[in-house]
Structure 1
Amino acid sequence: MPAPYDMQLPRCRTMTQSRRKLIGGLLLTASVLGWAILATAVYLLLLMEMPWWVHIVYFAIAGFGWLWPATVLVRWMARPDA
Structure 2
Amino acid sequence: MKIRTRKFLGTIALLVLAATWALFGMALAQLPWIAESGWRQAIYYVVVGMGWVLPAMPVVSWMQRPDPA
TM-score (ref. length: structure 1) = 0.77
**Residue type of the alignment partner of 2:27:** A
Aligned-pair Cα RMSD in Å: 0.9
Match of 2:35 among 28, 45, 48: 48
TM-score (ref. length: structure 2) = 0.91
Aligned length: 67
Cα distance, 1:61 vs. partner? Answer: 0.5
| Partner SS for 1:21 | helix
| Aligned match of 2:48 | 62
| Aligned match of 1:75 | 61
Partners of 2:3 and 2:30 in 1: CA distance: 40
Partners of 1:17 and 1:45 in 2: CA distance: 42
